[in-house]
Chains A and B, each alone.
Chain A
Amino acid sequence: MSYNNYDSGYSNTSYGGGGGGGGGFDPNGSQNSPSGGKREFQQDSMRAVTIKQILEAEPSGNSFNIDGSSITNLTFVGQIRNISSQKTFTTYKLDDGTGSIEVKKWIDSNAAEEVDPVKSRLVEGSYCRAWGKLNSFGDKRHVGVHNIRPVEDMNEVSYHLLEATVVHLHFTRGPPGGAAGAGGAAPQQQNQQLDTSDNYGAANLSGYSSVAKRVFQYMQDAPQTNEGLHQQDIAAKLGVDTADVARAGDDLLSGGLIYTTVDDQTWAILEAE
């Protein structure tokens, strides 16, 4: 197994001796806050996992599957059990209570002589978060990490384990409430089940104005092309002032329920799947 399909998603890694990174990846790209809310659940996603999940990931061609879904980048939190430094990389053994795995961090040859302030805080017994890709060599697995840093706020340990659970449940049971939108945060979506008074398909319109609800309802029902509907048509059909429709549209746009198509005034419903 080689390291040559590493992307350089983190600006501070150059993989000097590591066989080169895939070029052209924007270091400020979408992967630089993997612990944040946005997960794409597709190619090049960043998935929060437990070490047990990594150890049990099923090989599938050149990659691995967890919960039947292909994994690329992983992030996890663990306690450092052992550190061994080689010339070109450092191996950390991480333990999160569910298992342990070795992670390898290539040493940036350009910065080799300097004392790395992050690295000096990665000591045995301390918790850290790692981001990387799973590799297997023979039957032994390790994670080649782009980045590893100490955990500053110990609540991150709880946070990570809960996030890994949410993602696992997402893949095995679908989104919370079986409802729209993979992108939404779980706690908000749970409210949907309580809101039984209005049925707008899968979308949760509680909290939107009555005009917004009518606009959305109309957009769902009205025949249209994939360009959607113009706000003036909607206003005319509903007999509502265009400015009110525009405002309702802004709310629905920012809520991610509709999107603009040919211009800012033409909207279509954002389908959940």
Chain B
Amino acid sequence: MSEPQTPRILAPHLQSFQHRLVRMLGKVVQLRGDRAIIDAGGNVDVILNRDSHLAVGHAVEIIGKVDGNLHVKVVAATDFGTEIDFNAANAVVEATHRHKEIFYED
């Protein structure tokens, strides 16, 4: 189908997902102009688009492309509020990689 897959990853996985579209859930640490830092198992530099509305302290789910500097260029950002259980969210990432057959190709 037409929507591309967006593997869920954390900061340590960025290296292996260069130039690919990914999905990251993290907590917004810092906002500065069109840049932000989110904590998703480690700090990640995020390059925002015009439609991103991030709030410091909120969880945000980002769909974006990992560039050569391991920054993530946002395609879409969804606010996940302040009640996210990051232990569960990080367990999801782990599960999706370990049991890839039901989540992602290759």
Contacts and interface: CB of A to CB of B under 8 A. Distances in A.
Which of B8, B95, B103 has most chain A Cβ within 10 Å? B103
B65 to A, nearest CB: 14
A95 B3 contact: yes
A50 B95 contact: no
A95 B85 CA distance: 22
A81 B3 contact: yes
A165 B102 contact: yes
Nearest to B7: A97
Contacts of A79: 78
A93 B91 CA distance: 27
Contact of B2 (A53, A100, A169): A100
B60 to A, nearest CB: 10
A55 B99 contact: no
A2 to B, nearest CB: 23
A155 B83 CA distance: 8
Contacts of B102: 49-50, 52-53, 98, 164-165, 168
B88 A154 contact: no
B101 to A, nearest CB: 8
Nearest to A140: B1
The majority secondary structure among interface residues of chain A is mixed
Contacts of A81: 3
B95 A101 contact: no
A161 interface: yes
Interface residues of A, number: 29
Interface string B36-75: 0000000000000000000000010100000000000000
A50 B96 CA distance: 11
Between A101, A161, A162, A169, the greatest number of chain B beta carbons within 10 A of the residue's beta carbon is seen for A161
A125 interface: yes
B11 interface: no
A99 B92 contact: no
Given A50-B102, A50-B103, A98-B104, A165 B80 contact: no
B1 A55 contact: yes
A86 interface: no
B6 interface: yes
A165 to B, nearest CB: 5
Interface in A128-160: 153-155, 157-159
Contact of B96 (A53, A55, A153, A161): A161
A93 B23 CA distance: 18
B99 A169 contact: yes
B92 A161 contact: yes
A52 B104 contact: yes
Q: Which of B1, B6, B78, B83 lies at the interface centre, i.e. has the most chain A CB atoms within 10 A of its CB?
A: B1
Contacts of B80: 154
Contact of A158 (B1, B2, B78, B88): B88
A92 interface: no
